[in-house]
Amino acid sequence: MNPRSQQFYSIMARGGLRRGRAIAPEGFGITPEELSRPVTSASLFGNDAPLELEVGSGKGTFLVTESQARPDVNFLGIEYTRRYWRCAADRLRRNDQDNARLVLAEAVTFIRDHLDDASLSGVHVYFPDPWPKTSHRKRRFVQAEHIELVAMKMRSGARLRIVTDHAKYFAQIDKVIRSSSLRVIDFDALAAAADSQEIVGSNFERKYRREGRAFHTIACERV
Ligand SMILES: C[S@@+](CC[C@H](N)C(=O)[O-])C[C@H]1O[C@@H](n2cnc3c(N)ncnc32)[C@H](O)[C@@H]1O
């Protein structure tokens, strides 16, 4: 392809080239600017199926597998790293996964500005970045204010599940959740995306499992 051609520029603008083909997550990878507010199952998927959110989808392993296994549920992933967003959205596109979308956005801002109260049927937070340096702790997703925001967006009976390998972050997560308006419940394994022996079947779970790391889990629901 002539690198100066219009086609070249338009492919690069949509995500670049890999192995001679365009990586363009058209339709599956979306930006907040493309969305009307509030974002609902009806606005995004054209139906009224329950809507579940994944915060920090990474390369999309959980999003792809869980949405395949549960076709009656709509899944919206949020990912703010462009290269992961592009990769995960392209996986959805290749699977023609019509009940899942991935938005390129910072999670707290997106949840606050784009979602209606009581609109979510489930929330998944798997291996959130631990930000181990003390000066970076305020960047953690799980903190009291953010969890109350998420709780507000959950409908009654909706469940929030969190898994991490990071013991110190888990101590904070446990404290935040137990002091929140959400009720702690048993963490039941998500058989849909997980293989036997796995908890959720995300990319980081698989990577850390190979390294023999221990996992910490908590689940809670909106009463
Ligand atoms: C450690 S990875 C885990 C990815 C995936 N959940 C898994 O278990 O394989 C954390 C991911 O969350 C994304 N992330 C972290 N903070 C975020 C935020 N505030 N908004 C959106 N994405 C975020 C990162 O870019 C990264 O891809």
Catalytic positions: 129
Ligand 1 center to 13 CA (angstroms) = 24
φ, ψ of residue 35 to 5 degrees: the values are: -105, 140
Asked if residues 203 and 61 have their Cβ atoms less than 8 Å apart, the reply is yes
| Architecture, CATH, for domain 6-221 | 3-Layer(aba) Sandwich (3.40)
Summarised one tens digit per residue, pLDDT across range 188-221 is 875 577 887 899 999 999 999 999 999 999 999 9
Q: Is 217 in the pocket of ligand 1 (CB under 6 A)?
A: no
Tell me the torsion sign for CA atoms 103, 79, 201, 218: negative
How many Cα atoms sit within 13 Å of 109 on the Cβ side? Answer: 10
Question: Chain-wide mean pLDDT for the chain?
Answer: 89
Domain-wise residue ranges, the chain: 6-221
CB-based contacts of 181, cutoff 8 Å, min separation 6: 148, 151, 222, 223
Ligand 1 center to 86 CA (angstroms) = 13
Percent over 90 (pLDDT), the chain: 83
Ligand 1 center to 58 CA (angstroms) = 5
Q: Is 129 in the pocket of ligand 1 (CB under 6 A)?
A: yes
Summarised one tens digit per residue, pLDDT across range 154-174 is 999 999 999 999 999 999 999
Asked if residues 90 and 23 have their Cβ atoms less than 8 Å apart, the reply is yes
Name the helix (H) or strand (E) containing 137.
none
Q: How far apart are CA 37 and CA 121, in angstroms?
A: 18
